[in-house]
Structure 1
Amino acid sequence: MSCCADGSTSRATATTQAPADRAQWLAARKALLEREKELTRARDAVTRERQALPMLTVDTDYTFIAPGGRRLSLLDLFEGRRQLITYHFMGSLEGYGWCPICSFWVDNIGHLAHLHARDTTLVVVSPEPPAETEQFVKRMGWTVPFVSCHGTTFYEDFHVRLDDDDPEPEMPGVSTFLREGDVVRYAYSTYRRGSDLLNNTYNYLDLTPLGRQEDHLEDKMDWVRHHDDYEEMVIGS
Protein backbone atom coordinates (compact mmCIF):
# COMPACT_ATOMS: atom_id res chain seq x y z
CA MET A 1 0.00 0.00 0.00
CA SER A 2 1.11 3.60 -0.50
CA CYS A 3 0.26 6.71 1.43
CA CYS A 4 -2.06 9.13 -0.36
CA ALA A 5 -1.49 12.88 -0.29
CA ASP A 6 -4.23 13.22 2.32
CA GLY A 7 -2.50 10.74 4.63
CA SER A 8 -4.83 7.81 3.90
CA THR A 9 -3.46 4.40 2.90
CA SER A 10 -5.99 3.46 0.22
CA ARG A 11 -4.07 1.72 -2.54
CA ALA A 12 -4.60 2.13 -6.24
CA THR A 13 -5.71 -0.95 -8.12
CA ALA A 14 -2.75 -3.29 -8.54
CA THR A 15 -1.80 -4.68 -11.92
CA THR A 16 -3.34 -8.08 -12.69
CA GLN A 17 -1.67 -8.80 -16.02
CA ALA A 18 0.03 -12.19 -16.16
CA PRO A 19 3.70 -12.35 -17.16
CA ALA A 20 4.19 -12.91 -20.89
CA ASP A 21 6.95 -13.99 -23.20
CA ARG A 22 8.20 -11.69 -25.95
CA ALA A 23 5.96 -13.18 -28.65
CA GLN A 24 2.82 -12.81 -26.51
CA TRP A 25 3.72 -9.25 -25.62
CA LEU A 26 4.38 -8.33 -29.26
CA ALA A 27 1.08 -9.82 -30.46
CA ALA A 28 -0.87 -7.94 -27.78
CA ARG A 29 1.01 -4.72 -28.50
CA LYS A 30 0.30 -4.94 -32.24
CA ALA A 31 -3.40 -5.52 -31.57
CA LEU A 32 -3.51 -2.50 -29.29
CA LEU A 33 -1.64 -0.41 -31.88
CA GLU A 34 -4.49 -0.94 -34.34
CA ARG A 35 -6.95 0.32 -31.71
CA GLU A 36 -4.71 3.31 -31.01
CA LYS A 37 -4.60 4.14 -34.72
CA GLU A 38 -8.41 3.96 -34.88
CA LEU A 39 -8.62 6.35 -31.94
CA THR A 40 -6.15 8.76 -33.55
CA ARG A 41 -8.12 8.81 -36.81
CA ALA A 42 -11.39 9.32 -34.91
CA ARG A 43 -9.86 12.16 -32.89
CA ASP A 44 -8.56 13.79 -36.08
CA ALA A 45 -12.05 13.62 -37.58
CA VAL A 46 -13.63 15.20 -34.48
CA THR A 47 -10.95 17.92 -34.55
CA ARG A 48 -11.89 18.81 -38.12
CA GLU A 49 -15.56 19.01 -37.11
CA ARG A 50 -14.66 21.25 -34.17
CA GLN A 51 -12.69 23.58 -36.42
CA ALA A 52 -15.64 23.78 -38.83
CA LEU A 53 -18.15 24.91 -36.17
CA PRO A 54 -19.96 28.19 -36.91
CA MET A 55 -18.76 31.12 -34.81
CA LEU A 56 -20.51 33.86 -32.85
CA THR A 57 -19.54 37.53 -32.85
CA VAL A 58 -18.61 38.82 -29.39
CA ASP A 59 -20.17 42.26 -28.94
CA THR A 60 -19.81 42.69 -25.16
CA ASP A 61 -17.09 45.06 -23.95
CA TYR A 62 -15.45 43.02 -21.20
CA THR A 63 -12.79 44.62 -19.01
CA PHE A 64 -10.05 42.39 -17.64
CA ILE A 65 -7.51 43.47 -15.04
CA ALA A 66 -3.93 42.34 -15.59
CA PRO A 67 -1.10 42.44 -13.01
CA GLY A 68 -0.27 45.98 -12.00
CA GLY A 69 -3.86 47.09 -12.54
CA ARG A 70 -3.72 47.31 -16.35
CA ARG A 71 -7.21 47.32 -17.86
CA LEU A 72 -7.54 45.16 -20.98
CA SER A 73 -10.31 44.39 -23.44
CA LEU A 74 -10.97 40.95 -24.91
CA LEU A 75 -9.31 42.19 -28.10
CA ASP A 76 -6.24 43.23 -26.07
CA LEU A 77 -5.86 39.67 -24.79
CA PHE A 78 -4.99 38.49 -28.31
CA GLU A 79 -1.75 40.55 -28.15
CA GLY A 80 -2.06 41.07 -31.91
CA ARG A 81 -2.33 37.37 -32.74
CA ARG A 82 -5.17 35.77 -34.72
CA GLN A 83 -6.31 33.26 -32.11
CA LEU A 84 -6.96 33.36 -28.37
CA ILE A 85 -7.37 30.51 -25.90
CA THR A 86 -8.73 31.29 -22.44
CA TYR A 87 -8.48 28.83 -19.57
CA HIS A 88 -11.34 29.50 -17.14
CA PHE A 89 -10.00 29.15 -13.59
CA MET A 90 -12.68 28.33 -11.03
CA GLY A 91 -13.19 30.60 -8.05
CA SER A 92 -12.22 29.77 -4.49
CA LEU A 93 -13.73 26.53 -3.20
CA GLU A 94 -14.94 26.07 0.37
CA GLY A 95 -12.32 24.11 2.29
CA TYR A 96 -9.76 24.33 -0.52
CA GLY A 97 -9.22 28.01 -1.25
CA TRP A 98 -8.04 28.41 -4.81
CA CYS A 99 -9.17 25.45 -6.91
CA PRO A 100 -6.47 22.73 -6.79
CA ILE A 101 -7.91 21.07 -9.92
CA CYS A 102 -7.53 24.22 -12.00
CA SER A 103 -4.07 24.69 -10.50
CA PHE A 104 -3.22 21.15 -11.66
CA TRP A 105 -4.25 22.09 -15.21
CA VAL A 106 -2.31 25.37 -15.18
CA ASP A 107 0.78 23.47 -13.99
CA ASN A 108 0.50 21.44 -17.20
CA ILE A 109 0.60 24.42 -19.58
CA GLY A 110 3.82 24.26 -21.58
CA HIS A 111 6.11 26.98 -22.94
CA LEU A 112 3.93 29.50 -24.74
CA ALA A 113 6.47 30.18 -27.51
CA HIS A 114 5.11 27.17 -29.38
CA LEU A 115 1.55 28.55 -29.34
CA HIS A 116 2.80 32.00 -30.30
CA ALA A 117 4.56 30.45 -33.31
CA ARG A 118 1.09 29.35 -34.47
CA ASP A 119 -0.35 32.88 -34.09
CA THR A 120 -2.17 31.88 -30.89
CA THR A 121 -2.24 33.48 -27.43
CA LEU A 122 -3.19 31.66 -24.23
CA VAL A 123 -4.43 33.52 -21.13
CA VAL A 124 -5.75 32.18 -17.82
CA VAL A 125 -8.85 34.04 -16.64
CA SER A 126 -9.68 34.25 -12.92
CA PRO A 127 -13.06 35.24 -11.43
CA GLU A 128 -11.38 36.45 -8.24
CA PRO A 129 -10.39 40.11 -7.61
CA PRO A 130 -7.13 41.26 -9.23
CA ALA A 131 -5.09 41.58 -6.01
CA GLU A 132 -5.98 38.07 -4.80
CA THR A 133 -5.34 36.66 -8.27
CA GLU A 134 -1.92 38.27 -8.52
CA GLN A 135 -0.97 37.07 -5.03
CA PHE A 136 -1.90 33.45 -5.79
CA VAL A 137 -0.10 33.44 -9.15
CA LYS A 138 3.03 34.67 -7.37
CA ARG A 139 2.72 31.91 -4.75
CA MET A 140 2.46 29.26 -7.49
CA GLY A 141 5.37 30.69 -9.45
CA TRP A 142 3.43 30.69 -12.72
CA THR A 143 4.61 32.73 -15.69
CA VAL A 144 1.59 32.10 -17.91
CA PRO A 145 -0.47 35.31 -18.32
CA PHE A 146 -3.32 35.71 -15.81
CA VAL A 147 -6.11 38.29 -15.86
CA SER A 148 -9.10 38.87 -13.60
CA CYS A 149 -12.63 39.12 -14.99
CA HIS A 150 -14.03 39.97 -11.54
CA GLY A 151 -17.15 42.13 -11.79
CA THR A 152 -17.91 41.20 -15.42
CA THR A 153 -20.35 38.72 -16.96
CA PHE A 154 -17.58 36.89 -18.82
CA TYR A 155 -18.04 33.62 -16.90
CA GLU A 156 -21.84 33.68 -17.13
CA ASP A 157 -21.77 34.49 -20.84
CA PHE A 158 -19.49 31.57 -21.63
CA HIS A 159 -21.31 29.15 -19.30
CA VAL A 160 -18.45 28.75 -16.86
CA ARG A 161 -20.62 29.98 -13.99
CA LEU A 162 -24.01 28.28 -13.81
CA ASP A 163 -27.10 28.84 -11.73
CA ASP A 164 -26.40 29.10 -8.00
CA ASP A 165 -28.76 26.15 -7.43
CA ASP A 166 -26.52 23.89 -9.51
CA PRO A 167 -24.48 21.49 -7.30
CA GLU A 168 -21.36 22.68 -9.15
CA PRO A 169 -22.05 26.37 -9.89
CA GLU A 170 -18.68 26.87 -11.63
CA MET A 171 -16.80 24.65 -14.04
CA PRO A 172 -13.19 24.62 -15.18
CA GLY A 173 -13.04 25.02 -18.92
CA VAL A 174 -11.38 26.35 -22.04
CA SER A 175 -12.72 28.71 -24.72
CA THR A 176 -11.28 29.66 -28.09
CA PHE A 177 -11.67 32.86 -30.12
CA LEU A 178 -10.65 34.10 -33.55
CA ARG A 179 -9.79 37.71 -34.40
CA GLU A 180 -10.79 39.16 -37.77
CA GLY A 181 -9.38 42.67 -37.74
CA ASP A 182 -10.96 44.26 -34.66
CA VAL A 183 -13.86 41.80 -34.61
CA VAL A 184 -13.74 38.90 -32.13
CA ARG A 185 -15.46 35.62 -32.98
CA TYR A 186 -16.27 33.01 -30.35
CA ALA A 187 -15.55 29.52 -31.67
CA TYR A 188 -15.68 26.84 -28.98
CA SER A 189 -15.73 25.91 -25.30
CA THR A 190 -15.25 22.67 -23.42
CA TYR A 191 -15.59 21.93 -19.71
CA ARG A 192 -14.69 19.32 -17.10
CA ARG A 193 -13.38 16.16 -18.82
CA GLY A 194 -13.48 17.89 -22.18
CA SER A 195 -10.11 19.38 -21.25
CA ASP A 196 -8.51 16.04 -20.28
CA LEU A 197 -6.26 16.13 -23.35
CA LEU A 198 -4.71 19.37 -22.08
CA ASN A 199 -3.35 17.72 -18.93
CA ASN A 200 -0.05 16.05 -19.76
CA THR A 201 0.32 14.56 -16.28
CA TYR A 202 -2.80 12.51 -16.95
CA ASN A 203 -1.64 11.70 -20.49
CA TYR A 204 1.64 10.33 -19.17
CA LEU A 205 -0.11 8.36 -16.40
CA ASP A 206 -2.48 6.86 -18.98
CA LEU A 207 0.57 5.25 -20.63
CA THR A 208 1.53 3.42 -17.43
CA PRO A 209 0.25 0.08 -16.03
CA LEU A 210 -1.25 1.69 -12.91
CA GLY A 211 -2.73 4.62 -14.82
CA ARG A 212 -4.30 7.45 -12.85
CA GLN A 213 -4.69 5.38 -9.67
CA GLU A 214 -8.08 6.94 -8.90
CA ASP A 215 -10.45 3.95 -9.02
CA HIS A 216 -10.40 3.55 -5.23
CA LEU A 217 -11.43 7.18 -4.68
CA GLU A 218 -15.09 8.18 -4.40
CA ASP A 219 -14.14 11.59 -5.76
CA LYS A 220 -11.67 10.66 -8.50
CA MET A 221 -9.55 13.80 -8.16
CA ASP A 222 -9.54 13.99 -4.38
CA TRP A 223 -5.79 13.28 -4.39
CA VAL A 224 -4.94 16.49 -6.27
CA ARG A 225 -3.29 19.27 -4.26
CA HIS A 226 -1.63 22.57 -5.07
CA HIS A 227 1.90 21.69 -6.12
CA ASP A 228 3.33 23.17 -2.90
CA ASP A 229 0.87 21.27 -0.68
CA TYR A 230 1.81 17.64 -1.39
CA GLU A 231 3.18 15.61 1.48
CA GLU A 232 6.02 13.26 0.61
CA MET A 233 4.59 10.09 -0.90
CA VAL A 234 5.71 6.95 0.94
CA ILE A 235 6.16 4.21 -1.63
CA GLY A 236 5.78 0.57 -0.58
CA SER A 237 4.47 1.26 2.93
Structure 2
Amino acid sequence: MTTHDIGTRAQWRAAYEQVRAEEKALTRRGDELTGRRQALPWVPVTKEYRFETNAGDKSLAELFDGRSQLIIRHFMHGPKTPAGCGGCTFETDNLVGAVPHLAQHDVTFLLASRSPLPVLNDYKKRFGWDIEWVSLGDNGFNEDFYEFMHVPTPNRPGDMLASMELMALSCFAREGDTVFHTYSTYDRGTEALNATWQLLDRVPHGRGEDFADWPRKRDEY
Protein backbone atom coordinates (compact mmCIF):
# COMPACT_ATOMS: atom_id res chain seq x y z
CA MET A 1 0.00 0.00 0.00
CA THR A 2 1.32 3.42 -0.89
CA THR A 3 2.75 5.67 1.80
CA HIS A 4 2.52 8.69 -0.45
CA ASP A 5 0.10 11.53 0.28
CA ILE A 6 -3.40 10.86 -1.10
CA GLY A 7 -5.65 13.79 -1.90
CA THR A 8 -8.58 15.12 -3.87
CA ARG A 9 -8.43 16.58 -7.36
CA ALA A 10 -8.82 20.05 -5.83
CA GLN A 11 -5.84 19.46 -3.52
CA TRP A 12 -3.78 18.18 -6.43
CA ARG A 13 -4.70 21.25 -8.48
CA ALA A 14 -3.70 23.64 -5.72
CA ALA A 15 -0.34 21.92 -5.24
CA TYR A 16 0.16 21.70 -9.01
CA GLU A 17 -0.32 25.44 -9.47
CA GLN A 18 2.61 26.04 -7.11
CA VAL A 19 4.78 23.51 -8.95
CA ARG A 20 3.76 24.97 -12.31
CA ALA A 21 4.76 28.47 -11.22
CA GLU A 22 8.18 27.16 -10.18
CA GLU A 23 8.54 25.23 -13.46
CA LYS A 24 7.83 28.40 -15.44
CA ALA A 25 10.38 30.31 -13.35
CA LEU A 26 12.91 27.54 -14.00
CA THR A 27 12.19 27.74 -17.74
CA ARG A 28 12.87 31.49 -17.70
CA ARG A 29 16.06 30.91 -15.71
CA GLY A 30 17.06 28.26 -18.24
CA ASP A 31 16.55 30.74 -21.08
CA GLU A 32 18.78 33.24 -19.28
CA LEU A 33 21.47 30.61 -18.76
CA THR A 34 21.26 29.59 -22.41
CA GLY A 35 21.92 33.19 -23.39
CA ARG A 36 24.96 33.37 -21.13
CA ARG A 37 26.23 30.04 -22.46
CA GLN A 38 25.92 31.29 -26.04
CA ALA A 39 27.63 34.57 -25.09
CA LEU A 40 30.81 32.85 -23.89
CA PRO A 41 33.88 34.14 -25.75
CA TRP A 42 34.98 32.07 -28.73
CA VAL A 43 38.54 30.77 -28.49
CA PRO A 44 40.43 29.99 -31.71
CA VAL A 45 41.67 26.40 -31.87
CA THR A 46 45.26 26.70 -33.03
CA LYS A 47 46.47 23.16 -32.41
CA GLU A 48 46.29 20.76 -35.36
CA TYR A 49 44.29 17.68 -34.39
CA ARG A 50 43.86 14.70 -36.73
CA PHE A 51 40.95 12.27 -36.46
CA GLU A 52 40.53 8.85 -38.03
CA THR A 53 37.15 8.59 -39.77
CA ASN A 54 35.50 6.15 -42.15
CA ALA A 55 36.17 8.68 -44.91
CA GLY A 56 39.87 8.93 -44.07
CA ASP A 57 42.06 11.10 -41.88
CA LYS A 58 40.47 14.50 -41.14
CA SER A 59 41.23 17.76 -39.37
CA LEU A 60 38.89 19.32 -36.82
CA ALA A 61 37.68 21.79 -39.47
CA GLU A 62 36.85 18.92 -41.83
CA LEU A 63 34.68 17.26 -39.19
CA PHE A 64 32.15 20.10 -39.62
CA ASP A 65 31.16 18.43 -42.91
CA GLY A 66 30.36 21.77 -44.53
CA ARG A 67 28.30 23.13 -41.63
CA SER A 68 29.20 26.07 -39.40
CA GLN A 69 28.63 24.38 -36.02
CA LEU A 70 29.96 21.14 -34.55
CA ILE A 71 29.08 19.17 -31.42
CA ILE A 72 31.49 16.47 -30.29
CA ARG A 73 30.36 14.02 -27.64
CA HIS A 74 33.46 12.68 -25.91
CA PHE A 75 32.39 9.02 -25.48
CA MET A 76 34.17 6.88 -22.89
CA HIS A 77 35.60 4.16 -25.11
CA GLY A 78 39.34 3.75 -25.00
CA PRO A 79 42.26 2.11 -23.19
CA LYS A 80 40.76 2.86 -19.77
CA THR A 81 37.20 1.92 -20.77
CA PRO A 82 37.78 -0.78 -23.42
CA ALA A 83 34.29 -2.29 -23.15
CA GLY A 84 32.57 1.07 -23.69
CA CYS A 85 30.87 3.14 -21.00
CA GLY A 86 27.36 2.01 -20.09
CA GLY A 87 26.31 5.57 -19.24
CA CYS A 88 27.59 6.96 -22.54
CA THR A 89 25.83 4.11 -24.34
CA PHE A 90 22.60 4.84 -22.48
CA GLU A 91 22.85 8.50 -23.43
CA THR A 92 23.71 7.82 -27.07
CA ASP A 93 20.56 5.70 -27.40
CA ASN A 94 18.72 8.93 -26.58
CA LEU A 95 20.77 11.13 -28.92
CA VAL A 96 20.94 9.36 -32.27
CA GLY A 97 17.46 10.48 -33.31
CA ALA A 98 18.52 14.12 -33.00
CA VAL A 99 21.40 13.84 -35.47
CA PRO A 100 19.48 14.34 -38.76
CA HIS A 101 17.47 17.20 -37.25
CA LEU A 102 20.64 18.94 -36.07
CA ALA A 103 22.16 18.49 -39.53
CA GLN A 104 19.24 20.43 -41.02
CA HIS A 105 19.92 23.20 -38.50
CA ASP A 106 23.55 23.71 -39.57
CA VAL A 107 24.95 21.51 -36.77
CA THR A 108 27.08 18.40 -37.21
CA PHE A 109 26.93 16.00 -34.26
CA LEU A 110 29.37 13.14 -33.77
CA LEU A 111 30.99 10.90 -31.18
CA ALA A 112 34.72 10.82 -30.51
CA SER A 113 36.73 8.23 -28.58
CA ARG A 114 40.29 6.99 -28.21
CA SER A 115 39.60 3.38 -29.25
CA PRO A 116 40.63 2.34 -32.79
CA LEU A 117 38.08 3.05 -35.51
CA PRO A 118 37.26 -0.63 -36.27
CA VAL A 119 36.40 -1.14 -32.58
CA LEU A 120 34.11 1.89 -32.62
CA ASN A 121 32.46 0.73 -35.84
CA ASP A 122 31.73 -2.68 -34.32
CA TYR A 123 30.24 -1.05 -31.22
CA LYS A 124 28.11 1.27 -33.34
CA LYS A 125 26.87 -1.70 -35.39
CA ARG A 126 26.04 -3.60 -32.19
CA PHE A 127 23.49 -0.94 -31.22
CA GLY A 128 22.35 0.06 -34.70
CA TRP A 129 23.43 3.67 -34.34
CA ASP A 130 23.38 5.85 -37.45
CA ILE A 131 25.90 8.39 -36.22
CA GLU A 132 29.43 9.44 -37.14
CA TRP A 133 32.04 8.18 -34.66
CA VAL A 134 35.67 9.19 -35.02
CA SER A 135 38.82 7.89 -33.37
CA LEU A 136 41.04 10.32 -31.49
CA GLY A 137 43.85 7.87 -30.97
CA ASP A 138 46.40 9.71 -28.86
CA ASN A 139 46.03 13.12 -30.51
CA GLY A 140 45.61 14.90 -27.14
CA PHE A 141 42.14 16.23 -27.94
CA ASN A 142 40.47 14.82 -24.80
CA GLU A 143 43.28 15.93 -22.53
CA ASP A 144 43.33 19.47 -23.90
CA PHE A 145 39.61 20.11 -23.65
CA TYR A 146 39.32 18.49 -20.25
CA GLU A 147 42.08 20.80 -19.05
CA PHE A 148 40.18 23.83 -20.40
CA MET A 149 37.03 23.09 -18.42
CA HIS A 150 38.22 21.16 -15.36
CA VAL A 151 37.94 22.97 -12.02
CA PRO A 152 38.73 20.72 -9.01
CA THR A 153 36.16 20.87 -6.22
CA PRO A 154 36.36 19.80 -2.56
CA ASN A 155 33.75 17.10 -3.15
CA ARG A 156 35.38 15.74 -6.28
CA PRO A 157 39.08 16.49 -6.45
CA GLY A 158 41.55 14.92 -8.80
CA ASP A 159 41.80 14.23 -12.48
CA MET A 160 39.09 12.22 -14.25
CA LEU A 161 41.51 11.18 -16.96
CA ALA A 162 43.82 9.55 -14.44
CA SER A 163 41.36 6.69 -14.03
CA MET A 164 38.92 6.80 -16.95
CA GLU A 165 38.15 8.16 -20.38
CA LEU A 166 36.47 11.52 -20.83
CA MET A 167 32.68 11.87 -20.57
CA ALA A 168 32.03 15.34 -21.96
CA LEU A 169 30.48 17.50 -24.67
CA SER A 170 32.32 20.17 -26.65
CA CYS A 171 30.93 22.67 -29.15
CA PHE A 172 32.71 24.51 -31.94
CA ALA A 173 32.01 27.12 -34.60
CA ARG A 174 33.74 27.60 -37.94
CA GLU A 175 34.18 30.83 -39.83
CA GLY A 176 36.24 30.44 -42.99
CA ASP A 177 39.33 28.45 -42.12
CA THR A 178 39.18 29.27 -38.40
CA VAL A 179 37.66 26.90 -35.84
CA PHE A 180 36.57 28.30 -32.47
CA HIS A 181 35.90 26.43 -29.25
CA THR A 182 32.63 27.83 -27.88
CA TYR A 183 31.47 25.57 -25.03
CA SER A 184 32.27 22.40 -23.08
CA THR A 185 30.82 20.52 -20.15
CA TYR A 186 31.59 17.16 -18.61
CA ASP A 187 30.36 14.44 -16.27
CA ARG A 188 26.89 15.39 -14.91
CA GLY A 189 26.89 18.48 -17.09
CA THR A 190 25.87 16.18 -19.94
CA GLU A 191 22.86 14.57 -18.26
CA ALA A 192 20.39 17.17 -19.54
CA LEU A 193 21.02 15.70 -23.00
CA ASN A 194 19.45 12.41 -21.97
CA ALA A 195 15.69 12.42 -22.45
CA THR A 196 15.26 9.31 -20.28
CA TRP A 197 16.47 11.18 -17.19
CA GLN A 198 14.03 13.99 -17.94
CA LEU A 199 11.13 11.56 -18.31
CA LEU A 200 12.01 9.81 -15.05
CA ASP A 201 12.03 13.17 -13.27
CA ARG A 202 8.33 13.45 -14.12
CA VAL A 203 7.08 10.07 -12.86
CA PRO A 204 6.23 9.50 -9.18
CA HIS A 205 9.19 7.31 -8.23
CA GLY A 206 11.70 9.39 -10.18
CA ARG A 207 15.20 8.16 -10.92
CA GLY A 208 15.43 6.05 -7.79
CA GLU A 209 18.59 5.60 -5.79
CA ASP A 210 19.89 2.17 -6.80
CA PHE A 211 21.88 2.24 -10.03
CA ALA A 212 23.80 -0.97 -9.41
CA ASP A 213 21.89 -2.87 -12.10
CA TRP A 214 20.29 -0.06 -14.13
CA PRO A 215 20.75 1.42 -16.63
CA ARG A 216 22.51 -1.25 -18.64
CA LYS A 217 23.43 -1.51 -22.28
CA ARG A 218 20.08 -2.36 -23.80
CA ASP A 219 21.18 -5.70 -25.23
CA GLU A 220 22.18 -6.78 -21.71
CA TYR A 221 18.75 -6.49 -20.10
- Contact 1:15–1:209, Cα closer than 8 Å, also in 2: no
Residue 147 (structure 1) shift: 0.6
Distance 1:180 1:79 in 2: 13
Partner residue in 2 for 1:88: 74
Q: Is the 8 A contact 1:177 1:186 kept in 2?
A: yes
Q: What is the aligned partner in structure 1 of residue 30 from structure 2?
A: 43
Match of 2:11 in 1: 24
Identical pairs, percent: 40
Kindly indicate whether the alpha-carbon contact (under 8 Å) linking 2:78 and 2:165 is maintained by their aligned counterparts in 1: no
Partner of 2:154: none
- CA distance in 2 between counterparts of 1:83 and 1:70 reads 21
Match of 1:108, SS state, is helix
How many residue pairs were aligned?
A: 212
Residues 198 and 221 of structure 1: CA distance in aligned 2, closer, same or farther (over 3 Å):
farther
Cα offset, 1:113, TM superposition: 2.4
Q: Is the 8 A contact 1:127 1:150 kept in 2?
A: yes
In 2, the alpha carbon distance for the partners of 1:209 and 1:186 equals: 40
State how 1:33-112 maps to structure 2 within 5 Å: 33-67=20-54, 70-92=56-78, 97-109=83-95, 110-112=97-99
* Partners of 1:160 and 1:172 within 8 A in 2: no
Unaligned runs of 5+ in 1: 1-13, 231-237
Residue matched to 1:156: 143
Q: What amino acid sits opposite 2:10 in the alignment?
A: A
Which structure 2 segments of 5+ residues have no match? 151-157
Q: Could you tell me which residue of structure 2 aligns to residue 223 of structure 1?
A: 214
Residue 131 (structure 2) pairs with residue 140 (structure 1): no
What is the aligned partner in structure 2 of residue 183 from structure 1?
178
User: Alpha-carbon deviation of 1:65?
Assistant: 1.0
TM-score by length of 1: 0.82
Measure how far apart 1:71 and its partner are: 1.0
More helix by share: 2
Give the aligned partner of residue 122 of structure 1. 109
Distance 1:150-1:160 versus aligned 2 partners, 3 A rule: farther
- Other structure's SS at 1:59 match: coil
CA 1:54/1:15 → structure 2, altered by over 3 Å: closer, same or farther? farther
**What is the letter of the counterpart of residue 29 of structure 1?**
Y
Change (3 A) 1:95 1:119: closer
Residue 221 of structure 1, CA deviation? 6.4
Give the AA of the match of 1:224. Answer: P
Aligned-residue offset at 1:168: 4.2
The CA deviation at 1:167 is 6.2
Shift of 1:209: 0.3
Deviation at 1:123, TM superposition (A): 0.7
